[in-house]
Chains A and B, each alone.
Chain A
Amino acid sequence: MKIQVTLNGKKQEWDVTPNEYLADTLRAHGCPSVKISCGDGACGTCTVLLNGKPMVSCEVLSVRADGAEIVTVEGLEEEADKIVDCLTRLGGEGCGWCAPGFVVLAYALKRELHNPTYDEVKAYLNGNLCRCTGYIVRIEAVLEYLQMP
């Protein structure tokens, strides 16, 4: 069936099946940043913004995205650069596999929480697993990003 979405600011029409998940559809439509790792909603590598809210796209049926606004890391541009800059300066970049989902989540955190504490940031980022960094530098990088205009 045909669905219409706004992907990173551009209107698109996709032909999807009822069994298809959004992560697969996004990868097939030019968003290789959307990684599928656990495929189970647990690791957060496929995080995108769906109508402004961070969602694990591997758990969202593509048909349900009809009419939605979707933002992937490709659509974050300058904000993504700011987060990546903080991550690299503090040694939180790791191998980069989980980074796109993490960057989207960090951006969502900034929009959702106002003056969050260390523990609130830590809890918010809980849904993005990382094998490389040990998390602490990532939390510090996000705290630094939150101070940026």
Chain B
Amino acid sequence: MQIREYVKPDTLEEAYALLMKGKANRILGGCTFLKRTNLKIGTAIDLAACGLDYIREMDTEVAVGAYTSLRTVETSEVILREFGPALRESMEHLIGVQLRNAITIGAHAASRFGFSDIIPTLLAMNAKLRFYRGGVKTLRDYMEEERLEKDILVEILLPKEGRRTVVQMARLSYSDYSVFCLAMSRAGGNWIVSAGAFPGRAKLAERTMAVMNGGPVAREEAATLAENIAAEYRFGSNYRGSAEYRRELCRVFARRGIEELAQ
């Protein structure tokens, strides 16, 4: 990683202008992944003075500023009260408090990391992203975009839908990246199923979700639906686990998730 110039603008307007000024200009996040890259950055734009470190509760949603640290999210009473422990569970194992104080949730989501447990959980929570120029879009759409426009992620919006979310992960050691992650949620008759670290960018199990959202889901159907969910993903092998192992994890996690949420 190389940075030619560092700037800390006071406003998003100024930051956006700087971002668009050069092809190699980049917005800085927590910078914890930067060291592992070969990026050559022209102007590194630090948004620390732009006031994006917040968790705001509103009537229909909770807004989490893009510069909010994972540790702040993990310990937020508002998020725990409104959405349960799933989001905390998706991040609390990540190395240590000292690193989670540095990582920002916005950079993590915007980077679409394929190893993330947080992104599948946010997908299951039906999260939306607010960009400076692009406005609000669903995380689901953002994850599917082929070519990302240069923009600034301002905040993550978590809708208050009475959604119950569960997340399950398997990893080789406590603070390691996951071998596989599956998150699932239900709000009334509406289900969301997402997986990540298969390994690849998190995505929804759209076809099985359509079946689940078409009628009531009984606990007895869990094994069949779990089989269908596993059939939607193309699992890969790496040194953390084989495709077959991940497929089996997916079947088991999906069945357990449906059994828990169908009650």
Contact = CB atoms under 8 A, between A and B. Distances in A.
B32 A59 contact: yes
Interface string A96-128: 000000000100100000000000000110111
A119 to B, nearest CB: 12
Contacts, number: 77
Contacts of B28: 61, 64
A60 interface: yes
Nearest to B69: A53
B6 A124 contact: no
Given A44-B98, A59-B31, A59-B102, A18 B5 contact: yes
B229 interface: no
Contacts of B147: none
Looking at chain A's contact residues, the main secondary structure is: mixed
Interface string A46-77: 01001001111001110110100000000000
A1 interface: yes
A147 interface: no
Contacts of B239: none
A41 B1 CA distance: 16
B6 A42 contact: no
A105 B97 contact: yes
Contacts of B96: 42, 44, 56, 105, 126-128
B98 A105 contact: yes
A69 B31 CA distance: 19
A41 B32 CA distance: 7
Given A44-B96, A124-B97, A55 B6 contact: no
A115 B46 CA distance: 36
Nearest to B43: A18
Interface in B30-44: 30-32, 35-36, 44
A4 to B, nearest CB: 13
A18 to B, nearest CB: 4
Contact of A61 (B6, B71, B175): B6
A42 B5 contact: no
A124 to B, nearest CB: 6
A40 interface: yes
A59 B97 CA distance: 13
Interface string B83-98: 0000000001001111
Contacts of A60: 31, 102
Contacts of B30: 59
Nearest to B2: A19
Interface in B42-84: 44, 46, 48, 71
Nearest to A51: B101
Contacts of A50: 101
B48 A64 contact: yes
Contact of A18 (B4, B35, B71, B102): B4
18 contacts: A18-B3, A18-B44, A19-B1, A19-B2, A40-B35, A41-B99, A44-B98, A53-B71, A54-B97, A59-B31, A59-B99, A63-B46, A64-B46, A105-B96, A124-B97, A126-B95, A126-B96, A127-B99
Interface of B: 1-6, 8, 28, 30-32, 35-36, 44, 46, 48, 71, 92, 95-99, 101-102, 174-175
